[in-house]
Amino acid sequence: MKTVHVALGARAYDVQIGAGGLENAGEMLLPLLPRKRVVIVSDDTVAKAHLGAFQAALETSGIACESLTLPPGEATKCWRELEHVVEWLLARKVERRDVVVALGGGVIGDLVGFAAAILRRGVRFVQIPTSLLAQVDSSVGGKTGINSPSGKNLVGAFHQPSLVLADITVLDTLSDRDFLAGYGEVVKYGLLGDATFFDWLESNADAIRRRDRAALTHAVGRSVEMKAEIVARDETEQGDRALLNLGHTFCHALESATGYSDRLLHGEGVAIGCGLAFELSSRLGLCAQEDPSRLRAHLKQMGMKVDLADVPGDLPSAEALYALMGQDKKVLDGAIRFILARGIGQAFVTADVPRETVLAVLEDGLRGR
Q: Which residues are catalytic?
A: 121, 143, 185, 227, 237, 241, 245, 248, 252, 266
143 touching ligand GLY, by CB under 6 A: yes
Residues 118 to 137: which contact ligand GLY by CB under 6 A? Answer: 137
Q: Which of 181, 360, 183, 147 is nearest to 269 (CA)?
A: 181
Contact 22, 169 (CB under 8 A): yes
Q: Which of residues 91-110 bind ligand GLY (CB under 6 A)?
A: none
C-alpha 249/C-alpha 236 separation (Å) is: 18
Q: Which is nearer to ligand GLY, 218 or 252 (CB)?
A: 252
Angle of helix 290-301 relative to helix 176-193, nearest 10 degrees, comes to: 150
Comparing CB distances to ligand GLY, the nearer of 137 and 255 is 137
In angstroms, rounded to a whole number, what is the distance separating the alpha carbons of residues 331 and 351? Answer: 9
Query: What is the closest distance, in whole angstroms, from the C-beta atom of residue 73 to ligand GLY in the complex?
Result: 19
Least distance from C-beta 127 to ligand GLY, angstroms?
13
Name the residue nearer to ligand GLY (CB basis): 98 or 137: 137
Longest dimension (CA), the chain: 63
What residues numbered 192-251 form the site for ligand GLY, per CB under 6 A?
Answer: 241, 244
Measured CA to CA, the distance from residue 163 to residue 333 in angstroms comes to 36
Q: Mark 152-191 with x for binding to ligand GLY (rule: CB under 6 A) and - for no binding.
A: ----------------------------------------
Q: How far is the CB of 167 from ligand GLY (least distance, A)?
A: 21
The nearer residue to ligand GLY, 57 or 246, going by C-beta atoms, is 246
Q: E strands along the chain, which residues? A: 2-6, 13-18, 37-43, 64-70, 99-104, 124-129, 143-148, 151-158, 163-167, 338-341, 347-350
Nearer to ligand GLY, 98 or 237 (CB): 237
User: Which residue from 141, 190, 193, 273 is in contact with ligand GLY, where contact means CB under 6 A?
Assistant: 141
CB atoms within 10 A of CB 233: 12
- Nearest distance, CB of residue 283 and ligand GLY, angstroms: 26
Angle between helices 318-325 and 248-257 (to 10 degrees): 120
Closest to ligand GLY by CB, 124 vs 188, is 188
Nearest in space to 119 (alpha carbons), one of 140, 92, 147, 96? 96
Segment 29-48, which members bind ligand GLY (CB under 6 A)?
none
For 346, other C-beta atoms within 10 Å of its C-beta total 17
For ligand GLY, how many residues bind (rule: CB under 6 A)? 5
Interface map 281-300 toward ligand GLY (x if CB under 6 A): --------------------
* Residue 143 beta carbon to ligand GLY: minimum distance, rounded to whole angstroms: 5
CB of 249 to ligand GLY, least distance (A): 12
Residue 342 to residues 12, 196, 203, 248: CA-CA distances in angstroms? 32, 15, 22, 18
Residues that bind ligand GLY (CB under 6 A): 137, 141, 143, 241, 244
